[in-house]
Amino acid sequence: MSSQEIPEKNLPSEQDTAHGAVAVAEDPFADPGLPPHKPRVQDIDERAAKRSERTVALLFTLSMLSTIGFIASFVAFPVEKIVYVWPLGHVSALNLSLGVTLGLALFCIGAGAVHWARTLMSDVEVADDRHPIEADPVVKAKVMSDFAAGAEESAIGRRKLIRTTMFGALAMVPLSGVVLLRDLGPLPEEKLRHTLWGKGKQLINMNTNEPLRPEDVAVGSLTFAKPEGLEEDNHEFNNEIAKAALMIVRLQPQDIKDKRELDWSHQGIVAFSKICTHVGCPISLYEQQTHHVLCPCHQSTFDLSDGARVIFGPAGHALPQLRIGVNDEGFLEALGDFEEPVGPSFWERG
Amino acid sequence: MSTVTDDKRKAPAGERVADWADGRLGIYSLAKANMRKIFPDHWSFMLGEIALYSFIIIILTGVYLTLFFHPSMNEVVYHGSYVPMQGIRMTEAYASTLEISFDVRGGLLIRQIHHWAALIFLAAMFVHMMRVFFTGAFRKPREINWLFGFLLFVLGMFTGFTGYSLPDDLLSGTGVRFTQGAILATPVVGTYISFFLFGGEFPGHDMVARFYSIHILLLPGIMLGLVVAHLILVFYHKHTQFAGPGRTNKNVVGMPLLPVYMAKAGGFFFLVFGVIAAIAGLFTINPVWALGPYRPDQVSTGAQPDWYMGFAEGLIRVMPGWEINLWGHTLALGVFIPLTLFGLVLVALAVYPFIESWVTGDKREHHILDRPRNAPTRTALGVAWITGYVIMLLGGGNDIFATHFHLSINSITWFVRISYFVGPVLAFVITRRICLGLQRRDKDKVLHGRESGIIKRLPHGEFVEVHEQLSRQELHTLTAHEQYAPAEIGPSVDENGVERKVTRGQKLRAKLSKGYYGEGNQIPKPTADEYKEITSGHGHH
């Protein structure tokens, strides 16, 4: 695999080169050397050079004026002032004026400097020699012998006990750092398998914060629900809703193709986890005619009339269904927790 | 200095300061090597500068933002000046982002400069990398600098991601959820990594604080070190240059750092900063106030990551939802394969210089850039990579294309699935043909000159176009490139008739080498003999 396997003759030869080489009559492609410098108009006409100087100075002056404009805008425009500017629409007057003045102040410095360099500074090209990056053999030999001397003096080669224990110590000491990372978080245990749902928990309408009755759920509507007792000001609200979010639709019972789905429904009302089984976005698009729901993040599509199986997109399995019924007061309630973990797949899911 | 009495002239103040510094830092030796250092000129060499300057702009504006941003997930009820959000529960991170945007004068501008500069930083690095790739500037001795640049690009992606996640708004939270879902799909350790990263279940209460320290300290610290190392190596290796009269592999032709590049490069910093500031003043980026704070049960349609994460988004969107359940475990291939591909697509970039140098077996230094046409296979591979990348970028925006162009999302997804495999192959074949065509045209120009557009009528009535000979400079420029001969395995028996052992590696290399440099895969450049035969006027015109 080493380079020696490719014979030197297979490598192309570098074109002959020396800087400023005089063309050899035999080789029409030989390097003719650096072409002569072509003077710019500023190099020969002092009036043109003066014009360039004035342009550069004008740009620098514009920059100063813009900075003053920036400070003036900062003082003059109240932060909440909104103005209509075509074609941008309604924008913050302060943000617009600060951005434009700062942009101009900076841009003019740049434009001035570049114009100065291009028109007035020398544009004669100069050649500089390169030197090989690799050290020459003498230097390398010196380094090798220095290293050998150092290694010899330390006796790291002979005193194997020292060497081995030192490597052992150095290899082990980072373990402390790894161990310290342990308390970054709790172990997963069974946390991903359980949600706040449980037997007898009422389904609370996410919008009205009221318990849902079957008659509240109309055919063709999509209702979002949370478990009873979970309030927004709860410290763990986000962690819990990330698993417990529920979507409820009412189907005609004869439209439900999946036997278990029908058993777990109540008068055609079915409740499924709102959290996509792909990577966990909340599903929120519902197509009434087909009973398909679509995750707006990655377009996984589930058929709610057929056990919420995946009919398109990257999700790997159906949405978990929540078994629901009606309690004595006529409110919808859960008949238990989800029977399988909600949300994205994970290694221990099984 | 005061003891030197015989020196009548008192050195000017600047010189005395420089003397003082030289006595302690040795600045004169440093300046001797670098003050008039020569840099070659080409527009494409500015791309890296754009990346460098936007990085500096990001650091400057980022420091300002830390003065106002509260990296905390403590919940507050908003009572600030942005009316639509009043009375809404949100994290302090989100509330302080609203404050920066609506109450701090100039805060919105700096936030938008920061975000725009990040987008431009990544784009500039991407295009700069393409420049380096297509001109072969990654060859020895610059392979390590290629790796530094590659790391900067990858770290830049993650710094960007952790950055836009900090405001804890609905859009960014959705992106974090996606990342957490992807982490969960990692076999064996995924669940643990997720719990450790988020301090428990998603979203937890630690994410913003942890992302904050990663975003403002850990990653930018590493990147700053890499940027410095990258620049030191650019200085040390001296810049590459294109072939041309007087430009060889042993010299560098251009203009000196002081004053020309000091003015040009320094001025260019202000140009980049000025343009980004103006963009930030004119165009809104990431209006975190539009959608509200993050809630795991809410989402908007048309959710998109920043552009540099778009290809990862595409991979995750178009992958079929394969899942294997065995022995009580779940392998979510539908998520894990995109996650792996995301890494592989990037690693392919990192290792390419080493693969090419293995195929060529060339261990010499290269300071003369290739024109892309003169390395057809490399160019075609690069275009194929970009094609795959862009197709996945399209896949990441499949919902946007579907709604804007009234297309079926299912057809777009299938189109992306198929063209991810077909597109790069097509791009490879087409690019190589174009390169070979351009090589042929160059050869033609060298041998027959340039078409002058002048039609001449010969005495016997024939019309011919007068061709104008190229100048010596042009002839040299068009023939200066090197051409490799394909590596051969050699005879299967050695000189003593003993069977030689040919390793599989050697066979593979011979095959690849043929693919790169074999007959038909590059056009032999014109030789001096061909040129002389044609130009000596033996009726070839």
Residue in B203, B301, B409 closest to A238 by CB: B203
Among residues B486, B449, B485, the alpha carbon closest in space to that of B467 is found at B449
Please check whether the domain covering A192-334 is classified as CATH 2.102.10.10.
yes
Nearest residue on chain B to A274, alpha-carbon basis: B297
Chain A residues closer than 8 Å to B281 by CB: 95-100, 102-103
Query: Token pair of B325, please?
Result: 């359940």
| Nearest CB partner across the interface for A296, out of B75, B299, B413 | B299
Q: Is the dihedral of CA A176, A181, A186, A189 positive or negative?
A: negative
pLDDT confidence of B506, banded at 50, 70, 90?
Answer: confident
pLDDT in tens, B236-272: 999 999 999 999 999 999 999 999 999 999 999 999 9
CB contact under 8 A, A346 and B109: no
Distance CA B22, CA B248 (A): 35
Amino acid making up residue B283: F
Whether residue B524 lies within 8 A of chain A, CB to CB, comes out as no
Read off the amino acid at residue A238: N
Specify the pLDDT at position B315: 93
What confidence tens digit (pLDDT) does each residue in B114-159 have? 999 999 999 999 999 999 999 999 999 999 999 999 999 999 999 9
* pLDDT at res. A252: 87
Query: Which residues of chain A have a CB within 8 Å of the CB of B204?
Result: 185, 239
Q: Which residues contact A183 (CB under 8 A, 6 or more apart)?
A: none
Spatial contact of B380 and B438, defined as CB atoms under 8 Å apart = no
- Is residue A33 within 8 A of residue A19, CB to CB? The reply is yes
Q: Which domains does chain B have, with CATH numbers?
A: 39-298+306-313 (1.20.810.10)
Residue-wise pLDDT tens digits, B144-202: 999 999 999 999 999 999 999 999 999 999 999 999 999 999 999 999 999 999 999 99
b vs e for A19-33, b when ≥16 Cβ sit within 10 Å of the residue's Cβ?
Answer: bebebeeebbbbbbb
Best A2, A8, A102 residue to mutate vs chain B (most B CBs within 10 Å): A102
**pLDDT at position B303, please?**
87
Query: What pLDDT, on the 0 to 100 scale, is given for residue A5?
Result: 53
Interface size between A and B, measured as CB pairs under 8 A: 393
The answer to whether the CB of B175 falls within 8 A of the CB of B157 is no
Check if the beta carbon of residue B330 is closer than 8 Å to that of residue A345.
yes
Nearest to B349 by CA among B327, B382, B373, B324: B382
Contact A279 B248 (CB under 8 A): no
Q: Which amino acid is at B540?
A: H
What ipTM, to 2 d.p.?
0.90
Residue B479 has pLDDT above 90, yes or no: yes
Query: Alpha helices of B361-503 — where are they, by DSSP H?
Result: 376-396, 398-405, 409-448, 472-479
> To 10 degrees, the CA torsion angle through A71, A73, A74, A78?
160
Cis amide prior to A12 (ω within 30 degrees): no
B502 and chain A: CB distance < 8 Å anywhere? no
pLDDT number for residue A7: 56
* Partners of residue A346 in chain B, C-beta under 8 Å: 184-185, 190-191, 194, 330, 332
Residue from the list B250, B399, B413 with its beta carbon closest to the beta carbon of A129 = B250
A5–B295 C-beta distance less than 8 A: no
Region B280-298 average pLDDT = 93
Residues within 8 A of A (CB atoms), B 240-279 only: 245-246, 248-256, 259-261, 263-264, 266-279
**Strand segments (E) across B170-323:** 241-242, 251-256
Confidence band for B1, pLDDT divided at 50, 70 and 90: very low
When CB atoms are compared, the residue of B89, B245, B535 closest to A233 is B89
Residue A347: its chain B contacts at CB < 8 A?
184, 186-191, 329-331
Question: Would you call B171 an interface residue with chain A, using a CB distance cutoff of 8 Å?
Answer: no
How do residues B406-451 score in pLDDT, each as one tens digit? Answer: 998 888 999 999 999 999 999 999 999 999 999 999 999 999 888 8
- Which residue ranges in chain A fall short of pLDDT 50? 1-4, 16-24
Residues in chain A within 8 Å Cβ distance of B184? 279, 344-347
Rounded CA-CA distance A178/B330 in Å is: 27
The pLDDT of residue B205 is above 90 = yes
Question: Hey, CA dihedral for A154, A156, A157, A162, is it positive or negative?
Answer: positive
Render A240-286 in DSSP notation, one character per residue. HHHHH-EEEEE--GGG---HHHHHTSBTTEEEEESB-TTT-PBP-EE
Q: What is the pLDDT of residue A61?
A: 98
Mutation to test the A interface, candidates B43, B77, B248, most A Cβ within 10 Å: B248
The two structure tokens encoding residue A121: 């500074």
State the nearest Cα–Cα gap between A191 and chain B, in angstroms: 8
Residue B69, pLDDT above cutoff 60: yes
